[in-house]
Structures are given as C-alpha cells and as structure tokens.
C-alpha cells in the first residue's frame, strides 16, 4: 500500500515538473559526470520553449485571424447580394462594418513573415470592395440595369477572384508554417532526446533508463500534439474531441492551447452556422415590412404549380396595389410612406387565412397566394381585404387599394399567371381604383 502511494506521488511529481526538469532526472544520478551535457540540454530546451511560445503567440492567432477574414468576406458577399436582391441600400451598411473589421484584421499581418502577403491582400480587398460597393449601388439605383453593368460586374468578379486567391494562398502559407513549426519542434525534441540518450549510455546505466523513459513519454505526447495540429492545419477537426494529457509542463501548455483553439473553432463554427441561417432567412425577407420577398414568392408559386400538376389542387393569386401611394410619398415624405407600408402589410397579414401566403411584391404592391382556392373564393377574400383597408386609417390617413385576382389554369407558366393577375389589377386601377377585378371577367 505504501509502495503504491509512493509510486503515485512520484508520478504526480513527474507530471508537474517541466520538460527541462524531467531531463535533469537523468543527470542527477551522475551529476559530476554530466555537467557539460547539462548546458547542452539547457540550450536545446530553451530553443524548444521559444518554438512553443512562437506557435502559441504568433502562428495560431494568425491562422485564426485569416479564418475570420474568410468568414467576414463571406458575410460581406451575403450582405451585398441581399442588398441587390432586396434593392435596399441599408444592407450595404452591414457590409461596410464587416469591411472595416476585415481591414483592421489585415493590419495584424505587419511585422510577421506574412507582411507582404497581408499588404497584397489589403490592396486586393480595397479594390474589390470599392468596385462591388459602387456596382451594388448602381444596380439598386437603376432598378437592376444600367449601361456598363457587364463591364463593372466583370471587374468586380476579377477583383473577387484575386482577393479569394490571395486569401486562400495566405491561409495555405500559414497552415504550412504551422506544419513546419510543429515539425521543427518534433525534430528538435527528437534530436535532443536521441543525443541525450546516446551520451548518457556512456556515463551511467541508470541515466540511460531514466532518459529512455522520459523519451518514450514525451515522444508519445509530441506525436499526439503533432497529429492534432496536422488535423487542425488540414481542417479535419472533430469539435467534440479534446487532447487529454495529464501534464502541466510546456507540452501541457501546447495541449491547453490546442484545446482552447479547438473550442474557439467550435464556437466560430456554431456562430457561422447561425449566421448562415440568419442570412438565409433575411435573403427571403423584406426588411421594411417583415414579409417575404419575391425570392420566396418564386419558391411558393413553384410548389403550388407542382401540387396542381400532381393532385389537381386549385390555387389563386391576388396582387394588391395601394392607390395613389406616390402622392402620399410626395406629400408626406418617405418616412411616413414606410410606416404606411408596414401598417398596410400588417393589416393584410392579420386578415388573410392561415393557409394563405403573403409577400411584398415590390414598392407598394403585395402578392397573396391562396392555396386550395378558386377565383371566386379569392375574389371574396380580396373584397374582404378591400373593405378592411377602406375602413381603416394608416398614420391618420385613409387609404384604398386595388386588387387583381387570377387562378392557375392547366399548362400555364408562373409568368403567365402573374401576368394575368397584373392585367386584372391594371383593369381595377383603370376603372376607378378601390375595387377587385378577376382575370376571367376581362
């Protein structure tokens, strides 16, 4: 029992001491004979410790920073695409925030082996962001097309390809440096252990035994660290796994850093997934009214047409247009107009059926898709909505709206259905507004 307690105490002591002290266990048995070896071990251990500190303080943070830049570039791209799709310049403010953060990150490459690559990356990014921001604003301002859009788009794509290539090249270079640094650490440690073991053989048998034990232990832990680091460098990380080494020496510090790094990767991965979900949601949402936008409308109409073709289930659409909305904007300005649009959208949403789908079609127009509904039933729904709007005030103003109703017919395309509803809406506005017109009545 006492021998077992002594063994555990000795093992606990071995786990607590540094690598340097572990190697001193062997010279301790023949201290007078190994004094010259002691200085050799001290110098080599110091080099290893410097390499460890460099990896912990320099290389890993640079890799994490580059990965953050990749995610920021993806967010910028998503924000700009969303701004163009929704025709809302408010989205560009988010991309500007991410761009400023990315520019700040690129300052961190200064005074590192990657300074030149960082400057090149910053140059490509500034050129890309300037061109794509100008392109996005021109597209939004011109409602989707203007002279020179092809040339501007090609220029932005070329800038993006250069930026993406530079970013990937820098990321690859940092990965390769991590591999080289870890390999150098492994090589230097092996050299230290092998030379120490070789020299100790000539001095004292007990020194050989202790050195070999230390060698086997550290070698095993370094192999685990190298394997884990290579997985990180190649992106093959299992976020649920952690290195489990009961050591508090320099290698234990590396293990702790790697575990922290994996946890940070896991956190960033989860944040990226969440951001992706939010971006996907925002991609199909109208930012002003909170309703779905035309992107989602295309998906819903496609599903309804497929359901009609398979099960012969009727459906109809209603296009709603606020009467004289331009005059309201001209008289009360756009802030009031925006509030009216939001209130109008809520009024429509509150008075449609649970099975109906509503989205902002564009400007002051809204589109309702009514499943399992023929044109007569859609007309009744539209008339109900018309009366609700007529009897309600929006920002202390009385409004009216015109409605165009169309039902899907066999062999129609989505565009034909929308065109029919638009014709009915045009007829409603032509014949005095504040009325519901069905396509079949034309």
Count other C-beta atoms under 10 Å from residue 202's C-beta. Answer: 9
Encode burial over 59-89: b for 16+ CB neighbours within 10 A, e otherwise: bbebbebbbebbbbbebbbbbbebbbebbbe
The pLDDT assigned to 167 comes to 82
Provide the whole-model pTM.
Answer: 0.43
* Residues in Cβ contact with 23 at an 8 Å cutoff, skipping those fewer than 6 apart: 41, 45, 192, 196, 211, 214
Whether residue 354 contacts residue 310, with contact meaning beta carbons closer than 8 Å, is answered with no
Here the tokens at position 92 are 């560009």
Q: Which of 138, 162, 160 is nearest to 150 (CA)?
A: 138
The pLDDT assigned to 61 comes to 79
Rg (CA), the chain: 34
User: Which domains can be identified in the chain, with CATH numbers?
Assistant: 2-282 (no CATH), 294-441 (3.30.70.270)
3-state class (DSSP) for residue 409: coil
User: Tens of pLDDT along the chain (442 residues)?
Assistant: 555 565 566 666 666 666 666 666 666 655 655 566 667 666 777 766 766 676 677 777 777 878 887 788 788 788 877 777 777 776 677 778 877 888 887 888 788 887 888 888 888 888 877 887 787 777 777 776 777 778 877 887 887 888 888 888 888 887 887 777 777 767 777 776 676 666 666 666 666 777 777 778 777 777 777 776 676 666 665 555 555 555 666 666 666 777 777 677 667 667 776 766 655 555 678 889 989 998 889 999 999 999 999 999 999 999 999 999 999 888 888 888 899 999 999 999 999 999 999 999 988 999 999 999 999 999 999 999 999 999 888 877 889 999 999 999 998 999 999 999 999 999 999 999 999 999 999 8
299 alpha carbon, distance to own chain's centre: 24
Q: Which of 415, 421, 422, 414 is nearest to 306 (CA)?
A: 414
> How far apart (Å, rounded) are the C-alpha atoms in residues 81 and 132?
10
């Amino acid at each position: 029992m006492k021998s077992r307690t002594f063994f555990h105490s000795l093992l606990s002591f071995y786990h607590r001491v540094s690598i340097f002290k572990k190697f001193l266990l062997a010279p301790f048995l023949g201290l007078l004979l190994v004094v010259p070896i002691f200085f050799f071990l001290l110098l080599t251990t110091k080099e290893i410790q410097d390499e460890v500190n460099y990896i912990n303080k320099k290389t890993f943070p640079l890799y994490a920073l580059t990965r953050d830049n990749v995610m920021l570039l993806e967010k910028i791209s998503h924000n700009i695409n969303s701004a163009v799709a929704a025709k809302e310049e408010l989205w560009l403010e988010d991309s500007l925030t991410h761009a400023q953060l990315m520019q700040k990150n690129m300052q961190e490459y200064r005074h590192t082996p990657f300074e030149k690559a960082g400057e090149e990356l910053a140059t490509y990014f500034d050129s890309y962001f300037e061109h794509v921001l100008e392109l996005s604003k021109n597209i939004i301002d011109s409602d989707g097309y203007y002279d020179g859009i092809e040339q501007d788009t090609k220029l932005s794509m070329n800038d993006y390809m250069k930026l993406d290539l530079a970013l990937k090249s820098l990321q690859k270079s940092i990965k390769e440096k991590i591999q080289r640094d870890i390999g150098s650490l492994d090589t230097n440690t092996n050299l230290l252990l092998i030379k120490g073991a070789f020299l100790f053989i000539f001095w004292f048998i007990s020194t050989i035994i202790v050195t070999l034990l230390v060698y086997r232990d550290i070698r095993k832990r370094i192999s685990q660290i190298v394997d884990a680091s290579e997985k990180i460098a190649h992106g093959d990380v299992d976020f649920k796994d952690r290195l489990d080494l009961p050591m508090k020496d320099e290698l234990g510090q590396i293990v702790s850093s790697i575990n922290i790094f994996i946890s940070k990767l896991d956190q960033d991965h989860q944040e990226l997934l969440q951001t992706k979900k939010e971006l996907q949601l925002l991609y199909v949402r109208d930012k002003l009214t909170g309703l779905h936008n035309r992107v989602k409308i295309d998906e819903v109409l496609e599903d309804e047409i497929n359901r009609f073709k398979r099960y012969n289930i009727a459906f109809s659409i209603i296009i709603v247009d606020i009467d004289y909305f331009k005059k309201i904007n001209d008289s009360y300005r756009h802030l009031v107009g925006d509030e009216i649009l939001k209130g109008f959208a809520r009024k429509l949403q509150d008075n449609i059926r649970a099975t109906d789908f509503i989205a902002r079609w564009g400007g002051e127009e809204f589109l309702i898709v009514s499943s399992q509904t023929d044109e007569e039933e859609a007309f009744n729904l539209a008339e109900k909505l018309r009366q609700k709007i007529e009897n309600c005030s929006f920002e202390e103003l009385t409004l009216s709206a015109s409605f165009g109703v169309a039902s899907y017919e066999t062999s129609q395309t989505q565009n034909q259905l929308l065109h029919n509803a638009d014709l009915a809406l045009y007829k409603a506005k032509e014949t005095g507004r504040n009325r519901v017109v069905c396509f079949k009545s034309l």
